[in-house]
Amino acid sequence: MAGLLLGDVSHQGAHQVGSQRYSEEKPEDGSRWYFSRKEIEENSPSKGDGIDLKKETYLRKSYCTFLQDLGMRLKVPQVTIATAIIFCHRFFLRQSHAKNDRRTIATVCMFLAGKVEETPRPLKDVILVSYEIINKKDPTAVQRIKQKEVYEQQKELILLAERVVLATLAFDLNVHHPYKPLVEAIKKFKVAQNALAQVAWNFVNDGLRTSLCLQFKPHHIAAGAIFLAAKFLKVKLPSDGEKVWWQEFDVTPRQLEGWCLFFRY
């Protein structure tokens, strides 16, 4: 497993992003984690270390792909994978890629997500599978990680990284996803429920590879995914009666059109 480059954890609770300052005293409604796209890009810790937006976007997608693979091999639900990805996004909102190995951090995030979502996997399993994925081009990796000395070294690395991740997240492991509001809303529709749910779900998963979860609340992402799915399937959503469909999410059609652009970048 790649070595961990640790940033200075003494400043974890006070990294400046835009006009909002991170603090352990932020409210528990999750508002500490939402910023504009401009704030996220211009105030990125990685940017401060010379990593440009194109490179950071690549790194973000890279650890998302890694976590998807890791989660599937560990046979955890998609919600657990999504939680791990969001933990990772939040970590690198505060910490630089130049000082932290993304795959080591991602491994920790998967381990934590398993516990948070009540789908825990033994630390040993997480470490073994992660090591195999990271070293997939090395045919000797599978046997090497089974050696006690190598395994203990990786375990120590992950436990150290876990402390850094928890400190960086200010021990805030509360995550909500778009999946539940998305499914609940579609159940009320009378058109193409299964197809609509599947396509919208896929759009939500695609959005995980971007900074959407750092910009919009889960029910807004759900609304955008449903809107896009309906356009993709050429399905007309309920727009008459006492309450039109988008009012379920407290949004306007104009907002939905704008959010669709974020699913594409």
Whether 106 has a pLDDT exceeding 90, the answer reads yes
CA dihedral defined by 164, 165, 166, 172, rounded to 10 degrees? 150
Read off the pTM. 0.86
The structural domain count of the chain equals 2
165 and 226 part of one domain: no
Asked if 110 and 87 touch (Cβ cutoff 8 Å), the reply is: no
- Claim to verify: residue 42 and residue 158 sit in the same structural domain: yes
Run of H or E residues at 17: strand 16-17
> Which of 3-17, 32-46, 192-206 is least confident?
3-17
Q: Of the residues 141, 169, 197, which one is the last residue of a structural domain? A: 169
Structure tokens at 29: 């409604």
Q: Are residues 86 and 199 in the same domain?
A: no
What is the spatial distance between Cα 157 and Cα 160, in angstroms, rounded to a whole number? 5
Shared domain for 137 and 223, answered yes or no, is no
Residues 183 and 138 in one domain: no
Domain boundary (126, 152, 169) is at: 169
Tell me, yes or no, whether 58 and 182 share the same domain.
no
Check the CA dihedral 194-219-55-94 and report its sign: negative
Helix (H) or strand (E) holding 159: helix 148-168
Whether residue 32 is contained in a domain is answered as no
**154 and 60 within one domain:** yes
| Better pLDDT: 191 or 32 | 32
Q: Give the CATH number of the domain where residue 140 resides.
A: 1.10.472.10
For residues 222-226, average pLDDT: 90
116-159 confidence digits (pLDDT tens): 999 999 999 999 999 999 999 998 998 999 999 999 999 999 99
Domain interval for residue 226? 178-261
CA max distance for the chain: 67
- Output the average pLDDT for the chain: 86
